[in-house]
A and B are shown apart, each in its own frame.
Chain A
């Protein structure tokens, strides 16, 4: 059973703090990793993709990948109330048309 695990939260952080979201996956053959943000009642929005070990930064977001530990994380700097949402970690096993495997998501709440 190929799995993606996330802490469901809620993760509560004050405005301006760093929010750290974590994800582990079971299949060592996983090739690509994605973070989606989903607001209540809306569809998921792709915010970060990462494919190689290390950090990838985009604005206030930093994705970190450690394939040896089968761990991927998302850091949100200077958190804003508008960042309050559910964050979904997704893993792609291979490129042959297979579907992403999603975690159940972590709910983030940023208080002003």
Chain B
């Protein structure tokens, strides 16, 4: 399958700081990328859908001013958690959909964020 990378894999930050997470599709172009959050032993929760060159679409209850998403190219989307607080600590996972006939969606390895 296609490869999606995510950086960093793990980050620890102080409360009030901002953290940027990068998601890259390495061997295909992705017009659509998705950002998920997952708490321990819980289901994946879709945060937003990111389309290249346009504004992201956020799911209900997700603050767009807190979780800034930029999809500047067909291979890169970024998620910035602004003014992070301990309750933002979670596992953030991006995914990218290829443009082939089957619209398969591949996940990055995830970023574990811990806010102290």
Contacts and interface: CB of A to CB of B under 8 A. Distances in A.
Interface of A: 32, 34, 36, 41-46, 49, 51, 88, 90, 92, 95, 97-100, 102, 104-105
Contacts of B46: 99
B107 A100 contact: no
B90 interface: no
Given A51-B102, A92-B103, A43 B109 contact: yes
B105 interface: yes
A43 B108 contact: yes
B61 interface: no
Contacts, number: 45
Range for the number of chain B residues in contact with chain A = 20 to 34
Interface in B69-116: 91, 93, 97, 102-110
Given A97-B32, A99-B49, A102-B43, A43 B110 contact: yes
Given A97-B31, A105-B43, A45 B107 contact: yes
Residue of B34, B51, B105 ringed by the most chain A CB atoms within 10 A: B105
B1 A46 contact: yes
A34 B107 contact: no
Contacts of A104: 43
Given A49-B102, A49-B104, A98-B49, 20 more contacts: A41-B91, A42-B110, A43-B93, A43-B107, A43-B109, A44-B93, A45-B107, A46-B1, A90-B105, A92-B103, A92-B105, A95-B103, A97-B32, A97-B97, A99-B46, A100-B34, A100-B105, A102-B43, A104-B43, A105-B43
